[in-house]
Amino acid sequence: MDSRGFRRTTLSLMVIITITVVAFGIYLYFNFTSRSSLPVIVPAKVEQFVHFQTRKFRDDFASAKPTSFIDSISNLVGSWVIFSHCDKPAEPGIALFSDVVYFKTKEARFMAFTLTSEESFSSFCDTLKKQNLISNKMDLGTYNLVKVAGSPVYFAFKHKVLVFAKPVDSTVSDESLKFALRDVFSGRSDGFITNAGLQALYDAKVQFIAYNSNAPEKVFGYHFQPNQLPKELVASLKDKSEPKAEKFSVNGPFAQIYQSLGQEFPSPGNQIESLFNGVFNTLKSDTILK
């Protein structure tokens, strides 16, 4: 090989290596620092909205002990009967450090997680079907749907999103729930996330955001600190003005949502873990959780 050919080959390899390193660096940056896209699926009209920013919790509590809330998804997956055949919590394809988004509409309560692999979760569903733990998997175009046997809980998933759904009561028909899920997976750009006040709270770097239609013009953000009550910020839902600090109230929207999840108000020492348990408790049944 002549020197010119060698130089061209070397230069080409250097370019390829540089592009690969930069691309991998960008991937790592967004994977570990970017805000979750899960709230994008939340429809415009919701009665309640909760966003646990797990990645931010993990970063902000990195030096705090204990930080058991970081393992909440892993621990809960490990305790559910339907996951009992899995050797590892990550096997079903659910991101163990996923943000958690909870929202309620007139039809149902929903909880959304990030999937690391749609294929892994689909294979997991195939295994559950063989064990008669779920119904046949239905491909409804914009999402796949299965129902847990003997339970009112449904799994809906597509691409990188997994949603647990539970009708608010027995009067909600299967067709109504499917219609509600079609709205969730519609890919529309005018969802709840577009409210200016919500964006203002994200910019304020809160870890937890809550909206309750009992206070329809406001959205609340909370910044947690180890062994202390959270700092409470409030923003006008439609206005991206600077969020204002408020005195934390045990009777405020934060507590109301918590109570609607069937939980007592948590003490400062266990607030994070209790909040996760409260949200998961909304969708639990004897079939899923023992």
Q: pLDDT by residue (tens digit) across 132-144?
A: 888 899 999 999 9
- Give the model confidence (pLDDT) of 23-68 as tens digits: 333 233 333 334 678 999 999 999 999 898 888 877 877 766 545 5
Mean pLDDT of 213-224: 85
Q: How far is CA 18 from CA 4, 12, 14, 25, in A?
A: 21, 10, 6, 10
Question: Could you tell me if residue 225 is left (phi over 0), alpha (psi between -120 and 50 degrees) or otherwise beta?
Answer: beta
Mean pLDDT of 143-158: 90
Mean pLDDT of 167-174: 89
Best CA proximity match to 55, nearest among 80, 29, 88, 93 = 29
CA angle 282, 230, 223 (to 5 degrees): 90
Mean pLDDT of 266-274: 56
288 lies in a domain?
A: no
7 lies in a domain?
A: no
What mean pLDDT value characterizes the chain?
A: 77
86 lies in a domain?
A: yes
**pLDDT tier for residue 20 given thresholds of 50, 70 and 90:** very low
Predicted TM-score of the model (pTM):
0.78
Radius of gyration of the chain (CA): 21
Residue 97: the pLDDT is 80
Best CA proximity match to 83, nearest among 150, 128, 126 = 128
255 lies in a domain?
A: yes
Residue 55: the pLDDT is 80
Q: Does residue 123 have a pLDDT over 70? A: yes
* Pairwise CA distance, residues 146 & 41, whole Å: 19
Give the number of domains in the chain. 1
- CA within 13 Å, CB half, 3: 0
Residue numbers of the domain that contains 111: 35-282
253 lies in a domain?
A: yes
Q: Does residue 206 have a pLDDT over 70? A: yes
Best CA proximity match to 229, nearest among 182, 174, 269, 177 = 269
58 lies in a domain?
A: yes
Q: Is the dihedral of CA 205, 211, 216, 220 positive or negative?
A: negative
Q: Which is higher by pLDDT, 75 or 273?
A: 75
DSSP state of 212: E
b/e map of 112-124 (b: 16 or more CB within 10 Å)? bbbbeebeebbeb
- Give the model confidence (pLDDT) of 225-251 as tens digits: 766 767 889 999 888 788 998 876 666
* Pairwise CA distance, residues 214 & 257, whole Å: 10
Cβ atoms within 10 Å of 236's Cβ, excluding its own: 16
Query: What proportion of the chain, given as a percentage, has pLDDT over 70?
Result: 68
290 lies in a domain?
A: no
277 lies in a domain?
A: yes
Q: Does residue 287 have a pLDDT over 80? A: no
Under a CB-based contact definition with an 8 Å cutoff, are residues 42 and 50 in contact? no
